[in-house]
Amino acid sequence: MSGTLVLVRHGQSEWNLKNLFTGWRDPGLSDKGHEEARAAGDRLKAHGIRPDIAFTSVLSRAIVTNDHILEVLGQSDLETIRDEALNERDYGDLAGLNKDDARARWGEEQVHVWRRSYDVPPPGGESLRDTGARVWPYYLHDIQPHVLRGETVLVSAHGNSLRALVMALDGLTGAQIVKMEIATGVPIVYRLNADSTVASKETLEA
């Protein structure tokens, strides 16, 4: 085995709590979200996992989640690289809207297509495939080399940017990945082989 890749979706945000489309908007974590982020750190600590480097998006909910995890691990000074390539999917015209209000405006079926299809973007936004088109190259060029050198890498990001990564790592189809939910604040630990294939995958549930 080569190295370890730890993926963590940020803790619950204020807008998750309010059932709003978030995307590239930048609300903070809810009280529960702060707790979830610290709990993620506790689980990594209990499993003896200490990152050598961390990556986050440029959105505060991912950054603060990363900060909480590193604080619990006693690694607050760890090198952390922020890049918008790891940002959440851009929801375009839906950003900031209540999901129920969006259904009332465009219809249940259309909103479902925007949320759960692989390649149909909402107006002015990104599909999951579009999100993957920026996440995958960034992973290959910036994140994966650290793992293949035997390092442990922490990535604190978002539901859809992480789904794009999981899709590639697990070899899933577009139809399969849109059915997968990634829980907030629950670390997913991949051990990679030297050829970048997945040796093992473990979800550190509470």
**Residues with catalytic roles:** 10, 88
> Phi/psi zone of residue 64: left (φ > 0), alpha (ψ -120 to 50 degrees), beta?
alpha
Contact status, residue 17 vs residue 172, Cβ threshold 8 Å: no
57: Cβ–Cβ under 8 A, 6 or more apart, which residues?
Answer: 63, 82, 83, 84, 85, 86, 87, 88, 156, 157, 158, 161
Distance separating the N- and C-terminal Cα atoms of the chain? 26
The token pair that represents 41 in the structure block:
């750190």
The token pair that represents 176 in the structure block:
């399969």
Q: Please state, in angstroms and rounded to a whole number, the distance separating the CA atoms of residues 69 and 78.
A: 11
